[in-house]
Structure 1
């Protein structure tokens, strides 16, 4: 038996340590064995295998080939690898453009919008900005919900299309953007009508009038304009606002004389011995075409 640092250690006939030190060694050997079995590195995290660097043009061409074969998810991964491995390559701009397109093609609209924002932030003067704006607007447009739901997506598509049209009026995408704008605006008008009809049914005539007035003033080219004028006739008459009711019917008859809604408005007034007539000073006077 010997004394070492105040601790007694027994040495047997074979020179092996026993006692506390031997127990420490045994525990250490077990830990090392377990570490070896599990692949755990006691001296730090395991090394990550280095990613093989592939030339930018090769990655881009493979991504295009995958898109031609409609393997869009694979193409997107290749394009993302291109961005990661070659952030300063001239090919990166085309890569970011194709990420907008590829996500759009498979209906991943939120991802397409994010990719469009990245492109626009890095290349605000790029030659493909009109196309990116068009894809972004159409990604919003593709998610528009029915008029009973929130219409923020309609507003977002309108804002994006208007940005495209105002900044690039001669772009080949401007014409289609204008056509989609008509539909998006019609959605907003439809939402106002839906809420207005609800208020009307609840007897909240003032609130209903505000909604129908919005349609008449802001969405004159929508498919809801005729009904909006009729509902203004109906709601104002319910409140006893005879001049406003007559004015709404008169504007409806002036602009849409063959409308079934005008016949309803005319008959509604006739039941109370009234006829359509625009009142002097009414805001509706400005709505006659």
Structure 2
């Protein structure tokens, strides 16, 4: 049998453990409350500095807020705010660094769409020359396409579609630049491939008409008449009233004359004919 002394000792130790555990929990709660308070203050300071226009200090305060209490729901938001602070001052590399870190550290955060949109806009605003800035163009398009596919019902998706239309115009312009270069150098096959890219991948852009005409022209020159007529039919069906269609018509009709000029000539003939008739009654 267990002696009364042993029972008393066990109870004493048990109560001691409970007391220690309770103290530890209270200390932990106090520390957590204190860290959350510090984080809240750092975040508020960051927001205040952002309002004042000191984006560097603002970003540092937001980073400090995250480090003080990384398990808080506000930690992820602090990273996005740091990225935004850098973005509004055009510190694009710092913006991208913060956003990439956010996406890697908080993959399940509810504000992922904000990060992807800000990333897309950051790359988009770095596009200066379609002949050189291919990385920025493709990266921005990647982010906007992700938003359209994964967040189709958000306001960001609507703006992303508009941005992609503009990006496609830029990419088409790049293809046309290269295609015209090859065309001027009489390098038919590379030119042909570039014009085909415009027609197949960027068919909603302003460059489609010219690209179709060039495909008619080059294929005809290479003796690929059926292929040439195929593109001529597409051009005629979609852009029959355009100047590029008139140029295409000239490829097959060497004696083709501009319809407007002919109409003007016919009017002159009509006036001359009326004068002739009047002369009969004078």
- TM-score normalized by the length of structure 1: 0.72
Q: Which residue does the alignment assign to 1:172?
A: 155
**Equivalent position of 1:9 in the other structure:** none
Structure 2 residue aligned with 1:255, among 215, 219, 238?
Answer: 238
Shift of 1:269: 2.4
**Is residue 233–residue 246 contact of structure 1 (8 Å, CA) maintained in 2?**
yes
2: distance between equivalents of 1:241 and 1:156?
Answer: 38
Q: Offset at 1:254?
A: 0.7
Judged with a 3 Å threshold, the aligned counterparts in structure 2 of structure 1 residues 117 and 197 are, in CA distance, closer, same or farther, namely same
Q: Which residue of structure 2 lines up, in the alignment, with residue 56 of structure 1?
A: 39
Residue 124 of structure 1 aligns to a residue whose secondary structure is coil
2:75 is aligned to: 92
Contact 1:60 1:79 in 2 (8 A): yes
Structure 1 equivalent of residue 134 of structure 2: 151
Shift, 1:59, TM fit: 0.7
| Runs of at least 5 residues in structure 1 that lack an aligned partner in the other structure | 1-52, 274-289
The CA deviation string for residues 165-193 of structure 1, in whole angstroms up to 9 with x for no partner, is: 11111112110011000011111111111
> Which of 85-94 and 175-184 deviates more?
85-94
Contact 2:60 2:82 in 1 (8 A): no
**SS state at 1:55 partner:** helix
C-alpha contact (below 8 Å) 1:145/1:151 kept by paired residues: no
Hey, what's the Cα distance between the residues in 1 that align with 2:174 and 2:123? 17
The aligned counterpart of 2:223 is 240
Q: Are the aligned partners of 1:192 and 1:214 in contact in 2 as well (CA < 8 Å)?
A: yes
1:151 Cα offset (Å)? 1.6
Structure 1 distance, partners of 2:181, 2:155, is 41
Distance in 2 (CA, whole Å) between partners of 1:215 and 1:144 is 20
Q: Who is 2:183 aligned against?
A: 200
Query: 1:150, CA displacement in angstroms?
Result: 4.1
- Which deviates more from structure 2 when the two are superposed, residues 74-83 or residues 186-195? 74-83
Matched, 1:130 2:113: yes
2:23 corresponds to: none
Structure 2 counterpart of 1:83: 66
Specify the alignment match of 1:191 in structure 2: 174
More helix by share: 2
For residues 137 and 118 of structure 2, the distance between their equivalents in structure 1, rounded to whole angstroms, comes to: 14
Q: Does 1:101 align with 2:84?
A: yes
The alignment of Structure 1 onto Structure 2 pairs a total of residues equal to: 221
Structure 2 length-normalised TM: 0.74
Structure 1, 243-252 or 160-169: larger mean CA deviation: 243-252
1:110 aligns with 2:105: no
Q: Is contact 1:147–1:194 with CA below 8 Å preserved after alignment? A: no
Unpaired runs of 5+ residues, structure 2, are 1-34, 257-282
**Do the aligned partners of 2:213 and 2:248 also contact (CA within 8 Å) in 1?**
yes
SS at match of 2:155: coil
- CA drift of 1:73 comes to 1.6
**Could you say which residue in structure 2 is the equivalent of 1:70?**
53
- 1:228 positional shift: 0.6
8 Å CA contact 1:151–1:191 kept in 2: the answer is no
